[in-house]
Structure 1
Amino acid sequence: MRVRHQRAAQALGVTVESDGEFWGWAGRTLGAPARTAADAPVWLRLVAEREEKASGKLWTGAVDAQRAFGDLDGHRPALVGLYDETEDGTAYRAELSVRVGAPVLSTTPVLGQDLGLPATWWAELAETLHRLAMSAPTDRIAIRPQCMARAIPQFVGIPAPEVTSWAPAHGDLH
């Protein structure tokens, strides 16, 4: 993955910074801060998948979101480059995005403590997510009903509510 990540950086004309790499679930993704030739801060994320599975929402999510929303008035890092490569039955996709200047709120997918963020921060997040939900028809499913029926009782200790309607929502805020 490191070799492929570096190859993608060269193909996209960026230099990966030495201050950290970030691995995703099961080593399937590798991301790192980088800089363009004009010294603009960017983020380079590489994902690997078996060639026959390199499609669908997990593969095209960043491109689909860029087409649908752009940078959401500065609330979403714009996708500025893409590089695909396939070798020995494995497909690699590198996504180059504008780097977010805000600090990391949690180093894990679970927010484990109160961050003391102002009410305006949460209101702005809620408004942005509402805009997404109202303007983005989708057939994607982040959480299946079967998972909710199993997980809500297990982790919350109450029966899962009956779902009477569905709306688009962001399934991955980190």
Structure 2
Amino acid sequence: MSVTAFYESLSAQLAGLLTGERDWLANTANASALLFLEMSDINWAGFYFLNSDELRLGPFQGKPACTRIAVGAGVCGTAVKTGQSQLVEDVHAFPGHIACDAVSASEIVVPLYNGERCIGVLDIDSPLIARFTEQDLAGIEAFARVLLEHTDLPTA
């Protein structure tokens, strides 16, 4: 299966899973479980939500994680500060990387928006350097859009 077909299938699975449910907690929990189940070579998939000037841990799959991340700190905080997705081939080379799991080597972070306001991020880690490509980033951004279309996310 091509990378594009994989992410189309993953987004379709998510849409089916979320049909009839709009609760942000339930939907982000199921989204992280689906990512963790279906994606190869990842060791963490989950969400952080913005609360004042920091990100706070939300639903996830993987090892225990950092519970609070300042806006602008690490890959997740950078995604919020810049408003741009982050594709990091080697987290050890990323200035200010926060090592919640020392095994993580590469990362994708996609900011989540409720209207024009960033409310959090979708974060996926891999123990492999350069695990993620631009195709993966496009697929995860599409996955996030499906989640946002089916979910009533918090406003703050």
For the pair shown, the structure with the greater C-alpha radius of gyration is 1
Question: TM-score w.r.t. structure 2 length?
Answer: 0.32
Question: TM-score w.r.t. structure 1 length?
Answer: 0.29
